[in-house]
Amino acid sequence: MTPHNEAKTGEIAKIVVMAGDPLRVKYIAENYLTDYKMVNQVRGIYCYTGYYKGKRISVMAHGMGSPSMGIYSYELFHIYNVDVIIRIGSCGALTDDLNLLDLILVQKSYTESNYAYSFDNERCQISEANEEINEIIEKVAKEKNIKYIKGTTLCNECFDLYLPDKEAIIKRAPEGIKLLASEMEAFALFHNAKREGKKAGCILTVVDVPSKGEGISSEDRQNSLTNMIELALNSAIEI
């Protein structure tokens, strides 16, 4: 147990699928898992452990932003001995090449934050997904005929829809980095996985394309991102 997680040792599976929204986690447990049990509800950060196609898996919320993801993923890796975390989340497009509900498999996460410096005294602005986990996700995506785009995303400290000048951030990115979309948690997840010798991946669904004035509702963000959810779960059982 920790100040943020009341689960007992052994109640969280070795593989965890994480989402920012606790209600998305609840939806996944109720619609995809069998014999599931809620093992944490401290601060409303739900965690359920059950079975997906016979494999024991946990689904857990992580809240919004790198500090929140940093706390929950660190505790899962370091205290609950979780081996793999796959984050599923929503993102806002930073390029006109993307359309609503496009799927992104994050290869690298770029941030302007000082998360790594604050945690490890390390000047680091780019963290990477685990290559083995990404290969499994790609294999499953191809088998299920799920289209995806692989690349680098921005892990931002501000919600992208509220930014007055997105182009400024894009231009500040190091030379050679093409930012596909903006989210808020992948960098902390990848950094924590690396420092703990564990594995992590991240799949995102485009829910806003500001340049085209397009977006989906909060209800759809919570409940209808089926391709992303099923890709994560079907990848988890291959690990």
- Start-to-end C-alpha separation, the chain: 26
CA neighbor of 231 nearest in space, from 67, 105, 62, 121: 105
E strands in the chain: 15-19, 34-40, 47-52, 55-61, 84-93, 103-111, 126-128, 149-155, 179-183, 199-209, 214-215
Kind of pairing between the strands at 103-111 and 199-209 = antiparallel
CA 148 to chain centre: 15
Cβ atoms of 222 and 194 within 8 Å: the answer is no
Q: Is the dihedral of CA 109, 113, 115, 120 positive or negative?
A: positive
- Which one of the listed residues 21, 102, 160, 208 is annotated catalytic? 208
Polymer length of the chain: 239
Cβ atoms of 187 and 195 within 8 Å: the answer is no
The yes-or-no answer on residue 120 being catalytic is no
Active site residues: 208
